[in-house]
Amino acid sequence: MTTQPKEPLLRMAKRDSISPRAAWGIRAAAFLLALITGGLLLLLLGHNPITVYSAMISGAWGSPTVARETVKIAVPLLITSIGISLAFRMKFWNIGAEGQILVGAIAAGWFGLFTATIFPKIPLVLLMMASSMILGGLYGLLPAICKAKWGTNETLFTLMLNYIALAFVKYLMNGPWKAPGSSYPKIAMLAPGARLTKVLGVHWGWILALVLVVVSYVYITRTKQGYEIAVVGESANTARYAGIRVGRVMCRTMFLSGALCGLVGMLQFAGADYTLTEGTAGGVGFTAITVAWLSKMNPFGMLVVSVFIAMLERGSNTIQTNFKIPASASDLIIGIILFFMLGCEFFITYKLIPRRKEEHHA
């Protein structure tokens, strides 16, 4: 005699729909729970949570100087998240933004370091921009070609390309680009005349980032290419049936994705760091994945989330200094907030259904 398997105590089901008000209510509850959980950690460390949270906000926006630093953190995060979201929309998991940022910085570095005395500033900056976008795009194109032709796993492919780019930066630091006379492996600083001009105290990359928000939104919602990306993301077979050349769309989109990430490398090199190091990408490529998912791939949402995460990162530096909170603990607070914000999206998309009472007592 066979017995029927019992229904689980809780089962998961996708919601048919949820009102915007309910969705934002879930997000607000998640944010409140994140603050409470982080507050408990701060209490264990012997600090007043309200005081620490206030210091985080003040450390990010309390003066024009710190506000500019917050914007500097948000700019690369925003542009990178726009770039990888293009690939994510067609279910191509580009985890290689770190490597694409680095190769973009390498391309910009070659022109910035070795041709600054040849070209005037404006042509030089344009060359750095173009070269960073082309090399970053080609670096993103490589896994797309292999995926289209041989069905390779793009997640592993793009991830491994990060390490190749990082190893090449280390080679340049210890070899051909090593600063003359330096006993330490480092690359020379970019000449002041080749650095990006500041607008309101921050390099003009923030203006470019805002323009890209609008352009990318129009691209994905109002153009044929944006429509093709959406169709390929829904179903590659359906796209082929509709006459869309999936391989071409994949390669074109990944080139754009890599180009935007490469552009970030140029902005970091010529606008923020003024040199090339192992930390030029600074984890931006991975954090941008969180930005893209939290914003539901919406460029305007990415703007808000990028600024929010930049505020958390800048604020965490402040509380480390003011309250002597260890870096690991401040990073944990940021992680708790992001974990709750990401987790709440699950409850917006799915619902948990308890086992029916009659089955529970059977």
Separation of alpha carbons 302 and 243, rounded Å? 32
Integer Cα distance of 208 and 320 in angstroms: 32
pLDDT tens, position by position, 37-58: 999 999 998 899 999 999 999 9
User: Is there a domain that residue 55 lies in?
Assistant: no
| pLDDT band per the 50, 70, 90 thresholds, residue 362 | very low
Predicted pLDDT of residue 285 = 93
Looking at the structure, do residues 103 and 236 belong to the same domain, yes or no?
yes
Spatial contact of 315 and 1, defined as CB atoms under 8 Å apart: no
C-alpha–C-alpha distance, residues 212 and 218, integer Å? 10
Closest among 323, 203, 248, 268 to 90, alpha carbons compared? 248
Q: At what angle do helices 246-267 and 121-150 cross, to 10 degrees?
A: 150
CA distance 33 to 337: 9
| Structural domain includes residue 40 | yes
CA dihedral 233, 304, 76, 327 (to 10 degrees): -110
- Looking at the fold, whether 207 and 258 belong to one and the same domain comes out as yes
Among 78-82, 125-129, 159-163, 358-362, whose mean pLDDT is lowest? Answer: 358-362
d(CA 325, CA 280): 26
- pLDDT at position 284, please? 94
Residue 340 located in a structural domain: yes
Q: Same domain, yes or no, for 277 and 345? A: no
Residues 133 and 248 in one domain: yes
Task: Say which CATH number the domain at 266 has.
Answer: 1.10.3470
Question: What pTM did the predictor assign?
Answer: 0.90
pLDDT of 358 strictly over 50: no
- Report if residue 85 sits inside a domain: yes
Return d(Cα 101, Cα 91) in angstroms, integer.
21
Are 37 and 334 within 8 A, CB to CB?
no
Does residue 16 carry a pLDDT above 80? no
202 touches 71 (CB < 8 A): yes
Rounded to an integer, the average pLDDT of 100-123 is: 93
325 falls in which pLDDT band (50, 70, 90)?
confident
State whether 89 and 155 are in the same domain.
yes
Answer yes or no: is 7 within a domain.
no
Length of the chain: 362
Angle at 281 between CA 73 and CA 283, to 5 degrees: 75
Res 120 pLDDT > 60: yes
Q: Which two tokens stand for residue 44?
A: 């264990």
222/283 same-domain check: yes
Confidence of residue 215 (pLDDT cuts 50, 70, 90): very high
Model confidence over 220-238: pLDDT tens digits?
999 999 999 999 999 989 9
Residue type, 161: L
pLDDT computed for residue 3 by the predictor: 56
Name 351's bridge partners.
13
Q: Are residues 103 and 25 in the same domain?
A: no
Same-domain pairing of 164 and 273: yes
Q: Are residues 264 and 302 in the same domain?
A: yes
Nearest to 265 by CA among 278, 280, 253, 277: 280
In-domain check, residue 264: yes
Q: What is the mean pLDDT of the chain?
A: 90
- What's residue 6's pLDDT? 64
Task: List CB contacts of 358: < 8 A, sequence separation 6 or more.
Answer: none
Q: Which residues does 18 contact at the CB level (< 8 Å), separation at least 6?
A: 348
One domain, residues 182 and 278: yes
Are 262 and 191 within one domain? yes
pLDDT value at residue 216: 97
Residue 20 counted as domain residue: yes
Higher pLDDT residue, 181 or 268? 268
Nearest to 69 by CA among 58, 60, 81, 57: 60
Domain count within the chain: 2
Q: Percent of the chain scored above 70 by pLDDT?
A: 96
Residue 330 lies in domain: 12-47+325-354
Is 6 a member of any domain?
Answer: no
Pairing of strands 350-354, 10-14: antiparallel
pLDDT tens by residue, 264-320? 999 999 999 999 999 999 899 999 999 999 898 999 999 999 999 999 999 988 888
Q: How many Å is the Cα radius of gyration of the chain?
A: 23
Q: Each residue of 123-172: pLDDT tens digit?
A: 999 999 999 999 999 999 999 999 999 999 999 999 999 999 999 999 99
Please indicate, yes or no, whether residues 157 and 200 belong to a single structural domain of this protein. Answer: yes
Q: What is the pLDDT of residue 7?
A: 65
DSSP state of 269: I
Q: What average pLDDT does this structure show over 318-327?
A: 87
Helix, strand, coil % in the chain, rounded to nearest 5: 70, 5, 25
Query: E strands within 52-110?
Result: none
